[in-house]
Structure 1
Amino acid sequence: MATDSEKYTGRAASVNSKDGVQVEMLSPPPSVTGDQTHRTLKARHIQLIGIGGTIGTALFVQIGASLTKGGPASLFIAFTVWCTFVMAVNNCLSEMVTWIPVSSPFVRFADRFVDPALGFTAAINFFVFQAFLIPYEIVAFNVVLQFWTDKIPVIATIFFVLFFYSALNIFAVRFYGESEFWLALGKMLLAVLLIIFTFFTMLGANPLHDRYGFRFWNPDNVDGAPFAEFYTTGDTGRFLGFLACLVQASFTIAGPDYVSMTAGEAENPRKVLPRAFNSVFYRLCTFFVLGSLCVGIVVPYNDTNLLSALSDAKPGAGSSPYVIAMQRMQIPVLPHIVNAGVMSALFSAGNSYVYCASRTLFGLALEGKAPRFFTRCTRQGVPIYAVLFTLAIALLSFLQVSNNSAVVLQWFVNLVTASQLLNFSFISFTYLRFYYAMKAQGIDRDTLPHKSWLQPFCGYYALAGCIVMALVGGWAVFLNGNWDVPTFLFSYLMIGVCPVLYTGWKLWHKTPFHKLHEIEFFKAERAEVDNYEDNFVAEIPSSRFLRAWNWIFS
């Protein structure tokens, strides 16, 4: 029989006996809600998954294109401003998810707190966003590989990446969590090392002994200026440069949505998840605010090598501002290390997208909005058919075989940028409904496992900002001489599709817009989590090293 000390972390639970021997027990009773995933993701997995899904080539390579449009000050200000919107989304998500840690949380929250039609729309939008980022990362992976050689066939590279995505996501979620931990740790170290590289080289610690400091921010220096002019001159040109940087920031910066997607498989979620959400602030400041500052320090916005690399679409890290700076300072070896780091960052990001997209489809099926067979899980708790369907979409990466890589990459970027902003908008609106429903039902927010600050201001702030950015994301096509039908369609496709999805589902199924006093806060699901946590026993590390390790990543 299961005892009070049973540790519900998977299909089989373990008991720590007095002599330290772990005994395998029978699995906990089947979920009454139909969710058969297993809670095997540890605190360190979740912390690094939140990093792994956000740091990619956009932070190391594509950011250089925005630098040339807006200049270092515009880039830094844009990334800093957008981080405030992402923090607002983080505050909205953290309060809901830590109280109701279920699979595919925010898409199911939209269903229960707003309208089943909005839940369907949000889920389809997020699934498209995540699923189409997988072939984007695979195509980019092949481009990065060409930094070293173009002799490896494109088809072979695509098969290689898909095989490992399949292996890491099909067999057990702990394999995904463990792989993402180490891959994300590598990305984090790369980002930190590039920040350190910037600090020391700007002070003269480089082969040229050039103490360049903030030289490229000096408006009197022909090699740079704080604000660049884009498309036109004067204040209008500088504003358009800033807007281009802000659009790049809205594509590059994410984080809280990836943390939330682990809620249904997180070990001891109401203890682990609040810490993961709280650490988002430090991740945003370290990797994106400091990262955007460093890019504008190491290379001027009008650097001829940077402009040439972008126009020639140099493969891999060849068009990275950091690599160009290293080459200017005659630093060997480091460009190859950066390229290797970028390659692992790409693989890790795609791995995260497979996980998030499959769990979104799984959540759709749990709510009855996708075929029921997508809820079927393996004995290890993996929603196998949802994973396989997601990997099937990744086959779109084979478009690269018959099309230019840069063209294919731009298709995916344009399509998913609006989807990410719409997703943040759905989350913000759902939170506002959650907030006012709790108020209407007399539920004190002080009783929640985690109470976020500046609410409901953050909900309104994030909603307004994300809607505005979604509408202006494709602004460049409206300038004289820039009209391009494919760019317009990819930039605004999901903005047009989402209202159609919502209206169609609502009319077909006659779904209700939930009244605040009638909203039911996942009572059955919360009862399951309560029962799980009442019987949860944390595994005690066996050495000082492991205790320190867990403390760092908890």
Structure 2
Amino acid sequence: MAEMVTYLPISSPFIRLAGRYVDEAFGFACGWNFFVFEAALVPFEIVACNVILHYWKGSEIVPAGGIIAIIICLYGLINVLAVQWYGEVEFWAALGKVLLIVALLIFTVVVMCGGNPTGDRFGFRYWNDPGAFAELYHTGDLGKFLGFLQCLIQASFTIAGPDYVSMAAGEAENPRVVMPRAFNAVFYRLTTFFMLGSLAVGILVPYTDEEMKVAFSTGAPGAAASPYVIAMNRLNIRVLPDIVNAMVLTAAFSAGNSYVYCASRSLYGMALEGKAPKVFTRVTSKGVPLYAVLVVLGISLLSFLQVSNDAAVVLQWFVNLVTASQLINFASMCVTYLRFYYGMKAQGFKRDDLPYKAMLQPYAGWYGLVGTFIMTFVGGYTVFLPGRWDIPTFLFSYTMIAVCPILYLGYKFVQKTKLYRSDEIDLVKNVDEIEEYQRTYVPSPPKNAFDRALDWLFG
């Protein structure tokens, strides 16, 4: 993704480049899949916010439907009337998320070394007792493998990153310099945080912890099911659980707001290219695609499913839908990159001349394609186990797998598009404009020490 986007930094690149490097019908299917992925995350975050709010005693007097309605209204107001503050709000919210994970990692190191009210220096105790691998559905090695597979499926839900960075390519200042740094920062920092976070969770709580089992089985509200909060409770640490819950609530609300913005802009972008109804191109005086925002808010009404269903169940439905769409999204990006790679090779372009050259290509691209393709079908495998058939889980896990080919073939049939050969791929359109911009660009130096610190922190 970084290699393609830094070569041609345009808005919504992985959607538009899919149409340019593979097939316009492929770009159409990718665009709608990404929209569904983004839009489905909005009700997920709304339900999450509602669950988090009910962590505090007394919050149960406000019905779930009321909280959901308030959050949807707030998203509407922010995205229609206060959109000019979107970037500023999201910046500080992102900074808060970074501070939260750093604080939790520091907390882990301190308490494992005995810095807790009980004085227990538990270190890596839980790596030996009960051990690293939990059994799931079966005993023995098969059960341990299924446990690992379930973790892999859940991890697939969290792999977003490069696609969000690329969305800003068309509006970034000096993109061929800034975007490689941004991609590297996202990859290394997210990888580091995910790995250290997983390590911290394994240190703090054993998978046999009774409080955690009860929290997950009953759909405990807020951060009550968080391994960090469970560890804090076990170690008799007060106040911190409330702080963690408050920061998680802020992060969830911010994420939902961000998804409303991204989903509506994706729909707006597709409408501009004729791949969505023209009505979605209409904007307000402030440039807000009003009808696109309203559609996303309409989809967010799915969060009211929580009113008649268990919150944990509803959250898992959305996790299944989003995971499938996200894996399809990444598989599509891999296909697009491979067409870009082989197109450059067929047309005599040298990758050494690119602003950014990815490692291990094309092997990494093929690895990503095969891996995400397999995981897309594995995601809902539990419904095929004896006695575990569940229609909602099946539909949320596999609907997009059926919808995407239908979108592709339908658009291809109607528009009579063609699958480009490697020597037919357009690798030069808009490139001259980008190179002219780079030649004439004059960088603006940081205005003060704070700006320099932000440049260093965020790459």
By how many angstroms is 1:541 displaced?
A: 3.1
Kept in 2: contact 1:107–1:363 (CA 8 A): no
**3-state DSSP of counterpart to 1:280:** helix
Match of 1:461 among 367, 380, 395: 367
**3-state DSSP of counterpart to 1:415:** helix
Structure 2 residue aligned with 1:255: 161
Structure 2 residue aligned with 1:546: 451
> What is the TM-score when the length of structure 1 is the normalising length?
0.79
Q: Residues 395 and 442 from structure 1, CA distance in 2 versus in 1: closer, same or farther, beyond 3 angstroms? A: same
C-alpha distance after superposition, 1:10-40 (max 9, x if no partner): xxxxxxxxxxxxxxxxxxxxxxxxxxxxxxx
| Pair 1:112 & 2:17 matched | no
Separation in 2 of the partners of 1:360 and 1:225?
A: 45
By how many angstroms is 1:528 displaced?
A: 4.3
Structure 1 residue aligned with 2:319: 413
C-alpha distance after superposition, 1:457-485 (max 9, x if no partner): 11101000000111111111111111222
By how many angstroms is 1:284 displaced?
A: 2.6
Kept in 2: contact 1:355–1:387 (CA 8 A): yes
By how many angstroms is 1:382 displaced?
A: 4.1
Match of 1:182 among 92, 98, 101: 92
Amino acid at match of 1:179: V
Separation in 2 of the partners of 1:172 and 1:519?
A: 41
By how many angstroms is 1:366 displaced?
A: 2.9
By how many angstroms is 1:290 displaced?
A: 0.7
Q: How does 1:122-271 map to 2 (within 5 A)?
A: 122-148=30-56, 149-170=59-80, 175-218=85-128, 221=129, 224-271=130-177
Structure 2 residue aligned with 1:478: 384
C-alpha distance after superposition, 1:366-399 (max 9, x if no partner): 3221123433445555444333322232232233
Aligned length: 457
Amino acid at match of 1:134: V
Structure 1 residue aligned with 2:204: 298
**3-state DSSP of counterpart to 2:157:** helix
Amino acid at match of 1:105: P
Kept in 2: contact 1:108–1:363 (CA 8 A): no
Separation in 2 of the partners of 1:376 and 1:435?
A: 37
Kept in 1: contact 2:162–2:187 (CA 8 A): no
Match of 2:341 among 429, 435, 438: 435
Amino acid at match of 2:119: H
Separation in 2 of the partners of 1:103 and 1:377?
A: 18
Which consecutive unaligned segments of at least 5 residues does structure 1 have?
Answer: 1-92
Separation in 1 of the partners of 2:83 and 2:439?
A: 23
Separation in 2 of the partners of 1:267 and 1:539?
A: 10
Kept in 2: contact 1:155–1:398 (CA 8 A): yes
Q: Residues 485 and 139 from structure 1, CA distance in 2 versus in 1: closer, same or farther, beyond 3 angstroms? A: same
Separation in 2 of the partners of 1:193 and 1:469?
A: 32
Separation in 2 of the partners of 1:137 and 1:102?
A: 29
Separation in 2 of the partners of 1:535 and 1:163?
A: 44
Separation in 2 of the partners of 1:381 and 1:272?
A: 26
Which consecutive unaligned segments of at least 5 residues does structure 2 have?
Answer: none
Separation in 1 of the partners of 2:386 and 2:17?
A: 42
Separation in 1 of the partners of 2:456 and 2:282?
A: 35
Kept in 2: contact 1:113–1:519 (CA 8 A): yes
By how many angstroms is 1:178 displaced?
A: 1.3
Please say which of residues 355-364 and 416-425 is displaced more in the overlay: 355-364
Separation in 2 of the partners of 1:486 and 1:373?
A: 32
**3-state DSSP of counterpart to 2:339:** helix
Structure number having the greater helix percentage: 2
C-alpha distance after superposition, 1:69-121 (max 9, x if no partner): xxxxxxxxxxxxxxxxxxxxxxxx10111122212111111111111111111
Separation in 2 of the partners of 1:118 and 1:431?
A: 13
C-alpha distance after superposition, 1:188-222 (max 9, x if no partner): 1111111111111111010001000011111xx3x
By how many angstroms is 1:540 displaced?
A: 3.2
Q: How does 1:2-81 map to 2 (within 5 A)?
A: none
Percent identity between the aligned chains?
Answer: 61
By how many angstroms is 1:532 displaced?
A: 4.5
Kept in 2: contact 1:108–1:367 (CA 8 A): no
By how many angstroms is 1:351 displaced?
A: 2.0
RMSD, matched Cα: 1.9
Separation in 1 of the partners of 2:289 and 2:426?
A: 26
Kept in 2: contact 1:173–1:381 (CA 8 A): no
| Pair 1:520 & 2:426 matched | yes
By how many angstroms is 1:535 displaced?
A: 4.9
Q: Residues 516 and 367 from structure 1, CA distance in 2 versus in 1: closer, same or farther, beyond 3 angstroms? A: farther
By how many angstroms is 1:553 displaced?
A: 2.3
Kept in 2: contact 1:101–1:263 (CA 8 A): yes
| Pair 1:101 & 2:35 matched | no
